[in-house]
């Protein structure tokens, strides 16, 4: 049975407090949520920006805090474990307290603070949600024409972080910038070998080639000299504002569009839209596909899975599927484990969907489409392994290469399964599987045991064993959300 659930009522007075670690000052603070949002907006957007843009920023900052805060079931800051958020803009979210704002804004302190506070007050309690859960409301200074699809930056698809064409940041200083390097400097910075005899020519054949770019026009990978780089590596090594760049060769000039990772809200775009008269909700809905604005609800319990939507995929099923040496059907076992898992998840306050609820055939494409339509928080595929050598046994969990959340989820589930079932630990591993690649949300595929191994087939036929496996998977999901 699951006994990890702690339910407690949160006192009104301590309800919307954020535990903040101020990295600049190395100082711990407990701040009221709305006050926190003032400091976060101050750190994230120029206060000269128009009101609707500041309101959009306030909603993004509040949403990111709600997503992290443990009081709403968030994981907290993963670097400063006891805190909800840290003030490192590259980790959780930037924050400027009163002193810091005074230092930066000098004589404008009163005016700017008042302006930001108004934007925060006018959006009091509002957060961006997708399927009723706060989203990763990320933003960047300027997209330079197109925002980016999440998989091109994070590796995993997120339904509300889709590419949009943005002309609204055209007036920003980052719309187009140029950085020029001599060939010698380029060689030094990138650590590449290149014969530069032909440098005085206008073209330098073979210096930059094999370019692949995203649909949004950002560089995914490029070969410079003798080395292959990720767009992000070139961006970091040459200190370019974004990966949306092109070049000219005499010396080499990189022409860069936009600034930042390109995900979510383009801040100069929000400014441009506000100047054109767009209200805050239209600005946010433009950049966060399918997201809605809600007022933050008072949390009543700390069940980490409350409100989560989880899709369980017990494989294709049907009679055509695989069986063990004693005739146990994989389609049947997978479905039985998924059913127990679904019951446990419902008890934890989550909503569980099965991609099939009978032992009948359903194609892979159909099951993936189902998962993407439901828009869950995570997807878990349950399978058993079949191998020619019947002595081969153990438990393994797969995630899609580059899916950081999938990897974390796989590691938590694998650890708990191995502890509970005590079969051989084959590890949490990368695999380029269709079900993982095509699913729009963090997903894992579990091989609980080897159906081809007579001993493990016998275990899989026992309801107790299947219950134990389901309970271990839940423990893994819980620790994934609490980590
Ligand atoms: Zn942090
Ligand atoms: Zn833009």
Residue 248 predicted with pLDDT over 80: no
Least confident interval from 58-72, 250-264, 308-322: 308-322
Q: What is the pLDDT of residues 204-244, one digit of tens each?
A: 666 777 778 888 888 888 888 788 899 888 888 888 888 88
CATH code of the domain occupying 309-482? 3.40.630.40
Please tell me the distance between residue 146's alpha carbon and the centre of ligand 2 in angstroms.
Answer: 6
Please tell me the distance between residue 281's alpha carbon and the centre of ligand 2 in angstroms.
Answer: 17
Neighbouring residues of 200: CB distance < 8 A, sequence distance ≥ 6: none
Nearest in space to 294 (alpha carbons), one of 303, 302, 284: 284
The Cα–Cα gap between 448 and 391 comes to: 16
Q: What is the pLDDT of residues 399-427, one digit of tens each?
A: 999 888 899 999 999 999 999 999 999 99
The Cα–Cα gap between 260 and 103 comes to: 25
Nearest in space to 458 (alpha carbons), one of 412, 429, 423, 427: 423
Nearest in space to 74 (alpha carbons), one of 127, 124, 22, 150: 127
Tell the burial category of 437 from Cβ atoms under 10 Å away from its Cβ (0-12, 13-18, 19+). middle
Predicted local confidence at residue 434, as pLDDT = 84
Beta bridge partners of 219: 213
The Cα–Cα gap between 369 and 365 comes to: 6
Please tell me the distance between residue 85's alpha carbon and the centre of ligand 1 in angstroms.
Answer: 5
Counting ligands in written order, the one closest to the CA of 86 is 1
Computed from CA positions of residues 166, 167, 168, 171, in that sequence, does the dihedral angle turn out positive or negative?
Answer: positive
Most trustworthy range by pLDDT among 19-33, 44-58, 154-168? 44-58
Claim: this prediction has a pTM higher than 0.75: no
Predicted local confidence at residue 198, as pLDDT = 53
- Tell me the domain boundaries of the chain: 15-171+262-295, 178-256, 309-482
Please tell me the distance between residue 140's alpha carbon and the centre of ligand 2 in angstroms.
Answer: 9
Counting ligands in written order, the one closest to the CA of 21 is 1
Residues, CB within 5 angstroms of ligand 1 (ion): 77, 79, 86, 91-92
Q: Do β-strands 139-140 and 265-266 pair in parallel, antiparallel, or remain unpaired?
A: parallel
Please tell me the distance between residue 241's alpha carbon and the centre of ligand 2 in angstroms.
Answer: 14
Please tell me the distance between residue 87's alpha carbon and the centre of ligand 1 in angstroms.
Answer: 7
Please tell me the distance between residue 311's alpha carbon and the centre of ligand 2 in angstroms.
Answer: 34
């Amino acid at each position: 049975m699951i006994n990890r659930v702690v339910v407690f009522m949160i006192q009104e007075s301590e309800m919307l407090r954020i535990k903040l670690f101020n990295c600049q000052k190395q100082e711990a603070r407990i701040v009221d949520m709305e006050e926190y949002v003032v400091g976060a907006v101050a750190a994230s957007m120029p206060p000269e920006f128009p009101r609707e843009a500041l309101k959009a920023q306030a909603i993004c900052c509040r949403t990111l805090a709600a997503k992290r805060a443990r009081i709403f079931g968030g994981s907290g800051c993963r670097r400063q474990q006891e805190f909800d958020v840290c003030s490192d803009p590259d980790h959780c979210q930037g924050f400027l307290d009163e002193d810091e704002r005074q230092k930066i804004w000098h004589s404008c302190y009163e005016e700017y603070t008042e302006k930001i506070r108004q934007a925060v007050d006018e959006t009091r309690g509002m957060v961006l949600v997708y399927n009723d859960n706060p989203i990763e409301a990320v933003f960047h200074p300027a997209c330079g024409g197109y925002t980016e699809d999440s998989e091109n930056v994070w590796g995993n698809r997120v339904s509300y972080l889709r590419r949009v064409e943005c002309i609204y940041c055209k007036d920003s200083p980052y719309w187009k910038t140029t950085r020029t390097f001599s060939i010698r400097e380029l060689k030094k910075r990138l650590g590449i070998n290149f014969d530069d005899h032909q440098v005085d020519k206008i073209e330098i054949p073979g210096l930059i080639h094999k370019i692949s770019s995203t649909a949004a026009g950002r560089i995914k990978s490029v070969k410079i000299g003798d080395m292959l780089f990720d767009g992000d590596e070139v961006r970091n090594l040459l200190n370019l504002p974004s990966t949306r760049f092109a070049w000219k060769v005499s010396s080499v000039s990189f022409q860069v569009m936009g600034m930042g990772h390109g995900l979510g809200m383009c801040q100069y775009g929000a400014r441009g839209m506000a100047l054109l008269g767009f209200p805050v909700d239209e600005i946010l809905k433009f950049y966060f596909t399918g997201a809605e604005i809600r007022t933050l609800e008072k949390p009543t319990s700390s069940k980490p899975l409350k409100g989560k939507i989880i899709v369980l995929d017990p494989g294709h099923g049907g009679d055509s599927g695989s069986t063990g040496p004693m005739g146990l059907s994989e389609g049947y076992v997978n479905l039985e484990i998924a059913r127990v898992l679904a019951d446990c998840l419902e008890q934890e306050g989550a909503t569980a969907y099965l991609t099939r609820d009978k032992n009948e055939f359903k194609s892979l494409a159909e099951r993936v489409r189902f998962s993407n339509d439901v828009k869950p928080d995570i997807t878990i595929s349950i399978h058993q392994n079949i191998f020619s050598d019947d002595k081969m046994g153990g438990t393994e969990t797969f995630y899609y290469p580059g899916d950081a959340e999938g990897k974390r989820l796989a590691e938590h589930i694998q650890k708990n399964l191995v502890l509970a079932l005590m079969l051989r630990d084959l590890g949490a591993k990368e695999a380029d599987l269709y079900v993982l690649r095509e699913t729009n949300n963090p997903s894992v595929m579990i091989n609980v045991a080897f159906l081809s191994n007579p001993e493990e087939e016998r275990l899989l036929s026992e309801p107790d064993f299947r219950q134990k496996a389901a309970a271990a998977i839940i423990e893994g999901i819980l620790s994934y959300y609490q980590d």
